[in-house]
Amino acid sequence: MSVQPQPTHLSDDEQVTRANGTGRVPVLFIHGLWLLPSSWDRWGPVFAEAGYAPMCPGWPDDPDTVAEAFAEPEVFAHKTVGRVADHYAALIGKLDRKPVVIGHSFGGLLTQIVAGRGLAAASVAIDSAPFRGVLPLPISALRAASPVLGNPANRHRAVPLTYEQFHYSFANAVSNEEAKELFETFAVPAAGAPLFQAAAANLNPWTEAKVNSTNPARGPMLIVSGEQDHTVPRAISDAIYNKQKRNIGVTEFVEMPGRGHSLTIDHGWREVADTALAFVKRFA
């Protein structure tokens, strides 16, 4: 496998201007923890070819490259779910057309928050992090989060993963060779705060890690689950789907057989992209 993502150097505002200039429906991609917007670089052309205007804006103050991320890891610290969700909501407010929103992992949670605010024409949440009301806590998910949750001081830090931790939490369903390549190409430090917020969501009525799943303006939503995902096992995705399907809008669920948490960036990324695109085409 050869992974050669091309970094997106356009600023967030430049991406908004470009999307508005096309007159097309924007597709806003939201990455999760330990990744950068470059994790979507191969997805963008697929959606552009299908007639959409892809956008890959980062979390606030995201660096452009993996090298820059490790040179200044402190830029990732202190980013909370609420701050990042508001960041994406503000960008959407600058668009001429309501976008499709697609997110992975904590990006999947942010996708659901944005959709729950009525800001998405349609949405796809891939191996989404849990939110308030999602109760399962599988052992593999706790182990995947332990590099952060194991030290309370990490709430205010940026935390990198070792290769062994990345292999377990992201790349358990691919070969060792591919896992190492994915780690070297994509993995960056991540804010600890969102993991603590998600872990305590069911104990905190005022948590930012909550989703308005019943808003009738939520729009059509697809929940995607990787069968072998350690970080977001099927039990969590099922619980998310069960919350979301109470919405009056269309809510669908797809499991990707044999896939782990790296399903958006590994050798099988195109199958996941095509699954998302097929759903999006039906509604946007």
Residues 69-123 have pLDDT tens digits of 999 999 999 899 999 999 999 999 999 999 999 999 999 999 999 999 999 999 9
C-alpha span between 244 and 164 (Å, rounded)? 34
Is pLDDT of 2 > 60? no
Is pLDDT of 244 > 50? yes
Nearest to 110 by CA among 134, 87, 94, 93: 87
Cβ atoms of 91 and 20 closer than 8 Å = no
C-alpha span between 41 and 230 (Å, rounded)? 24
DSSP 8-state assignment for residue 99: P
Kind and range of the H or E run holding 223 = strand 221-226
Q: What is the pLDDT of residue 3?
A: 43
CA 221 to chain centroid, in Å, comes to: 14
Q: What is the pLDDT of residue 1?
A: 46
Kind and range of the H or E run holding 235 = helix 234-244
C-alpha span between 78 and 95 (Å, rounded)? 27
Q: What is the pLDDT of residue 12?
A: 95
Q: How far is CA 165 from CA 21, 87, 120, 135, 188, in A?
A: 42, 29, 34, 24, 12
C-alpha span between 41 and 53 (Å, rounded)? 13
Q: What is the pLDDT of residue 5?
A: 41
SS3 (DSSP) at 269: helix
Structural domains in the chain, CATH included, are 15-283 (3.40.50.1820)
C-alpha span between 164 and 52 (Å, rounded)? 38
Q: What is the mean pLDDT of the chain?
A: 95
Cβ atoms of 18 and 8 closer than 8 Å = no
Q: What is the pTM of this model?
A: 0.96
Quick one: tokens of 84? 């990042």
Is pLDDT of 9 > 80? no
Confidence tier at 31 by pLDDT (50, 70, 90): very high
